[in-house]
Structure 1
Amino acid sequence: MTDTPGWASPGSSPSSEGREPGTSGPAEPADRPGPAEPAPQPGADTQGPGVKWSKEQPPPGQWPAPTGAPSPDLTPPPPPPGPGWGGHPGGPGPGGYGGGYAGPPPTGHGGYPAWGGGWGGPPPAAKPGVIPLRPLGVGEILDGAVSTMRTYWRSVLGISLAVALLTEISLVLLQGLVLNDALGRTALDGKTATPAEVFRALRDTMIGTGLVTVISAAAIIVTTALITTITSRAVLGKPVSTGEAWREARPQLPKLCGLLLLLGLIVVGTIVAGTLPGLLILLSGGHDAAGSALFALGILAGTVVAVWLGVRYYLAAPALMLERQGIGKSMSRSAKLVRGSWWRIFGIQLLAALITSVVSAVVTIPFAVIGAAMSGDGMADFLATNNGHVGWTFLIIRGIGSVVGTTLTLPISAGVTVLLYIDQRIRREALDLELARAAGVHGYGTGAPGPVPGS
Structure 2
Amino acid sequence: MPLRPLGVGDILSGVFASLRNHAAALYLPLLWVVLAGVALMAACGVVAAATLGGVLDAVRTQRGLTGAEAGSLVAVLAGTALLLFLCFLVMFTVSAATATVVVRHAVVGRRPTARQVWAEARPVLWRVLGSQLLIGAVGFALMLGSLLLFALLGLLAHSVLVPVFGLLLLVPGWGAAMYVQVRLVLDVPVLVMEEASVVAAARRAWRLNEGAWWRSLGIPYLVNLIGSTVGQFVIAPFVIVGMFVMMTGLVQDPASTDGSGPTLDPAALVVTVVLVAIGMIAGTALTMPLTPLTNALLYIDRRIRRESLDVALAAAAGVAPRPQPAAPGTAPGTAPGTPPAGAGPDAPADAPQDAPEKGAQGTPEE
TM-score tier, shorter chain, comes to 0.7 to 0.9
Matches within 5 A, 1:56-455: 131-171=1-41, 174=44, 178=48, 182=52, 184=56, 187=59, 192-279=64-151, 286-294=158-166, 296-375=167-246, 391-442=269-320, 447=333
CA distances 1:321-353 after superposition (whole Å, capped 9, x unpaired): 000001111111111121111011111122122
Once residues 23 and 3 of structure 2 are traced to their aligned partners in structure 1, the CA distance between those partners, rounded to angstroms, is: 22
Aligned amino acid, residue 250 of structure 1: R
Once residues 342 and 430 of structure 1 are traced to their aligned partners in structure 2, the CA distance between those partners, rounded to angstroms, is: 20
Once residues 351 and 437 of structure 1 are traced to their aligned partners in structure 2, the CA distance between those partners, rounded to angstroms, is: 32
2:239 and 2:276 in contact (8 A); partners too: yes
CA spacing shift, 1:333–1:443, aligned 2, 3 Å: closer
Once residues 148 and 44 of structure 2 are traced to their aligned partners in structure 1, the CA distance between those partners, rounded to angstroms, is: 32
Once residues 74 and 156 of structure 2 are traced to their aligned partners in structure 1, the CA distance between those partners, rounded to angstroms, is: 26
Once residues 300 and 174 of structure 1 are traced to their aligned partners in structure 2, the CA distance between those partners, rounded to angstroms, is: 37
Once residues 214 and 368 of structure 1 are traced to their aligned partners in structure 2, the CA distance between those partners, rounded to angstroms, is: 24
2:51 and 2:72 in contact (8 A); partners too: no
Aligned amino acid, residue 228 of structure 1: T
1:279 and 1:291 in contact (8 A); partners too: yes
Once residues 140 and 347 of structure 1 are traced to their aligned partners in structure 2, the CA distance between those partners, rounded to angstroms, is: 14
Once residues 271 and 213 of structure 1 are traced to their aligned partners in structure 2, the CA distance between those partners, rounded to angstroms, is: 19
Aligned amino acid, residue 402 of structure 1: M
Once residues 77 and 49 of structure 2 are traced to their aligned partners in structure 1, the CA distance between those partners, rounded to angstroms, is: 6
Shift of 1:406: 2.4
Aligned amino acid, residue 400 of structure 1: I
Once residues 302 and 315 of structure 1 are traced to their aligned partners in structure 2, the CA distance between those partners, rounded to angstroms, is: 22
Once residues 33 and 79 of structure 2 are traced to their aligned partners in structure 1, the CA distance between those partners, rounded to angstroms, is: 21
Shift of 1:181: 6.1
2:92 and 2:288 in contact (8 A); partners too: no
Aligned amino acid, residue 193 of structure 1: L
Shift of 1:424: 0.9
Aligned residues: 314
Aligned amino acid, residue 162 of structure 1: W
More off after superposition, 322-331 vs 221-230: 221-230
Aligned amino acid, residue 254 of structure 1: W
SS at structure 1 position matched to 2:5: coil
Larger RCO (CA within 8 A; separation ≥ 6) = 1
Percent identity between the aligned chains?
29
Once residues 42 and 8 of structure 2 are traced to their aligned partners in structure 1, the CA distance between those partners, rounded to angstroms, is: 36
Once residues 156 and 51 of structure 2 are traced to their aligned partners in structure 1, the CA distance between those partners, rounded to angstroms, is: 36
Shift of 1:376: 5.5
Once residues 124 and 205 of structure 2 are traced to their aligned partners in structure 1, the CA distance between those partners, rounded to angstroms, is: 17
CA spacing shift, 1:255–1:392, aligned 2, 3 Å: same
2:100 and 2:189 in contact (8 A); partners too: yes
CA spacing shift, 1:172–1:266, aligned 2, 3 Å: farther
Once residues 64 and 248 of structure 2 are traced to their aligned partners in structure 1, the CA distance between those partners, rounded to angstroms, is: 24
2:29 and 2:118 in contact (8 A); partners too: no
Once residues 154 and 49 of structure 2 are traced to their aligned partners in structure 1, the CA distance between those partners, rounded to angstroms, is: 31
SS at structure 2 position matched to 1:375: helix
Root mean square deviation, CA, Å: 3.3
CA spacing shift, 1:196–1:289, aligned 2, 3 Å: farther
List alignment gaps of at least 5 residues for structure 1: 1-130, 380-385
Shift of 1:255: 1.7
TM-score (norm 1): 0.62
SS at structure 2 position matched to 1:236: coil
CA distances 1:358-412 after superposition (whole Å, capped 9, x unpaired): 1111211231121122126989xxxxxx9xxx93212211122223322321222
Once residues 159 and 251 of structure 1 are traced to their aligned partners in structure 2, the CA distance between those partners, rounded to angstroms, is: 14
2:311 and 2:321 in contact (8 A); partners too: no
Shift of 1:219: 2.7
CA spacing shift, 1:186–1:365, aligned 2, 3 Å: farther
TM-score (norm 2): 0.75
CA spacing shift, 1:267–1:253, aligned 2, 3 Å: same
Once residues 227 and 361 of structure 1 are traced to their aligned partners in structure 2, the CA distance between those partners, rounded to angstroms, is: 22
Q: Which has the larger radius of gyration?
A: 1
CA distances 1:248-299 after superposition (whole Å, capped 9, x unpaired): 22222222221111111111222122122334566899423311331x2132
